[in-house]
Amino acid sequence: MKLLCLAPAVIMLAAASSALADGDAVAGAIVFRKCGACHTATVPENRVGPSLMGVVGRPVASVPDYAYSRAMKAFGADGKVWDEALLREYLPGPQFLVKGTRMTFLGLKSERDLDNLIAYLKNPAAAQ
């Protein structure tokens, strides 16, 4: 009986936490300023790093005309795709997930920043 009473509470908690994880693209555009020296998100232009335009849902190390490090190519060799889960794993510490990456960014430690940045990367136009 206790389990039946707990089930609705667990469902409500899960729904609330997923709603909080949606992020705010406008706030994400501000977080993206940390990335903007090396990356773009609104144009398919490579800089020091590859364009992140359309990155969510894109295979790892797949931007044409960008010279990825051997480490990043090896990381994506098994068909990994930059989905929200992989971005959440990567962005707090790129060097820890991809040993040997040339990306020197120290990472995002705030869950809110991650939520917002991912919302922005999913739809940069929503920040306009």
pLDDT in tens, the chain (128 residues): 554 444 444 444 444 434 445 899 999 999 999 999 999 999 999 999 999 999 999 999 999 999 999 999 999 999 999 999 999 999 999 999 999 999 999 999 999 999 999 999 999 999 99
pTM listed for this prediction? 0.82
Side-chain-side CA neighbours of 101 within 13 Å: the count stands at 22
Predicted local confidence at residue 21, as pLDDT: 55
Superfamily in which the 23-127 domain is placed by CATH? Cytochrome c-like domain (1.10.760.10)
Give burial (CB, 10 Å; 0-12/13-18/19+) of 6: exposed
* Helix residue ranges, H only, 1-128: 2-20, 25-32, 70-76, 84-90, 94-97, 111-122
The set of residues, in sequence order, having a beta carbon less than 8 Å from that of 25 and lying 6+ positions away, is 116, 119, 120, 122, 123, 124, 126, 127
Predicted local confidence at residue 108, as pLDDT: 97
What residue spans define the domains of the chain? 23-127
